[in-house]
A and B are shown apart, each in its own frame.
Chain A
Amino acid sequence: MIDPVILQQGNDWRAQAEIFDEIFFVFLALGTLVGTIVVSYTLWNVYKYRDDGNRSDEEFDAPVVGELPTGQGGPKAKKLFLSFGLSAIVVISLVVYAYGLLLYVEQGPDTGDEGDIEIMVEGYQYGWAYEYPNGHTERGELIVPADQRVDLNITSRDVWHNFGSSDLRIKSDAIPGDHSETWFTVSSEDVEAQGGEATYRVECFELCGSGHSAMEGQITVIPEDEWQEWYNSTGNSSESASIEAPGAGLTAASGVSA
């Protein structure tokens, strides 16, 4: 069942984690560099111009009480604008660079003719429920195939949650009455590296009540053929009963809607 076209494309796809790691590294490197320069420069000057009582009073224009404030002009003002200009260039170029990758993250990789899997995710106090395209529902654990783009359509049944997996670097708000989207993909290499079944921790990133801390889930990625087999077995079974969660909130009756 493995489509060779998809596999080939899969090699070109960049996971969100990869993009995040790249940008994070660039920001961290430049941030550390700029921070170190600025802080060292400041510390050095503060040390250099400490009041050690040894400098003469000549040329020192000390301020006096009651003067109307004036600023310092001259060479320092020029330096001020030069530093300001430099910092502006660094910050703006960083963000423009990151913006290019944002557009990719927003759209996700092109899956060509072969569609992706769209899964409805619904947060509730305190867990996650998933609904597959064939109507099958799961709670807690999301089982998806490797080398496939998985689209998540996320909402909430009661309060504001946030569905996120730090390992996969995906995150999206789960807001009642609203649907947000994100996507991820895991390569079969990664799945093999984890022994044929890759698991990722899912946590809730928005305070949602007394059980917020323990509101966890899991994403399990298995090879596509195994997954297909499992998926086919769910479609015609009668197990796709509606999910009943404890403490269901205002929209409890609505359940997961496609």
Chain B
Amino acid sequence: MADKKRIDAPTGTQTVGHEWDGIEELDTPMPRWWLLTFYATIIFSIGYVVVYPALPGLTGATKGTVGWSSRGELDKTMQAEAARKAPILSAIAATPIEQLPAKPQLMQAAVQGGAAAFKTHCVQCHGSGAAGSPGYPNLNDDDWLWGGDLKAIEYTITHGARNPEVATTRTSLMPAFGRDGILTKGQIEDVVSHIRTISGEEKPSASARRGATLFEANCAVCHGPAGKGMREFGAPNLTDGIWLFGGDRETLARTVADSRKGVMPAWDHVLSPVTIKMLAAYVHSLGGGEATLAPNPAEREPGAVE
């Protein structure tokens, strides 16, 4: 190591004074434009510190003279977005929900808005694909407890289900046939046999025939004499392929013995009417939505109370 600065003859430039295996480094001066640029950035940074929030303090950073903040930016973006959406939202709000399908553009916007709101408010119970889980209905299918047309869905979302604080809520209560001592264990097994027979999962048996009599006396009031359910009471159709809590013997026996009931919040306390309308449109669009004013007669019991 020759720690000596010297003038390099071919270039006339001083070396930095270090040498590694014969390789030396020239202490070439910075180009003037480079230095000027560097000084300019320093001056710029002083201005930046004055104009924008920069210096941290105990309770927050300095505010800066133009009052810029990232939260303020977000607010501005959100307001701009709200302003952009305002006309279509007011158009949706002004349209009765059963008339939405006649206006494809509004319907499409409503479905998109509903999809976004669904991801925030509904996925906790119904799942991100709206496929539900035991106790929480799958919203993609064509089976509805309280009705599957736009108006019925909107009503359910607005008022909730079995909500003790809301007078208009969708409500009904199935007795706990076992716990309350209405039916014995054996009778419950017979009722389960009957239900599984009418839904096509078991072959008719003596137990099922006994169950049919018990069903007539205890269950038909709500579920209908043929077990096809009744939407006025949110009583599920027991003859179809869909079970809310499960269709095996054990689960059904528990349901009959202890009674089960899903609850759902009344969303009008939380969401605006237009959001609820969009949510209804979204849920209706998932593949099982029914036409308004034309309920499928096959779903109804003949002579059922309207």
Q: Do A and B bind each other?
A: no
Q: Using CB atoms and an 8 Å cutoff, list the residues of chain A in contact with chain B.
A: none
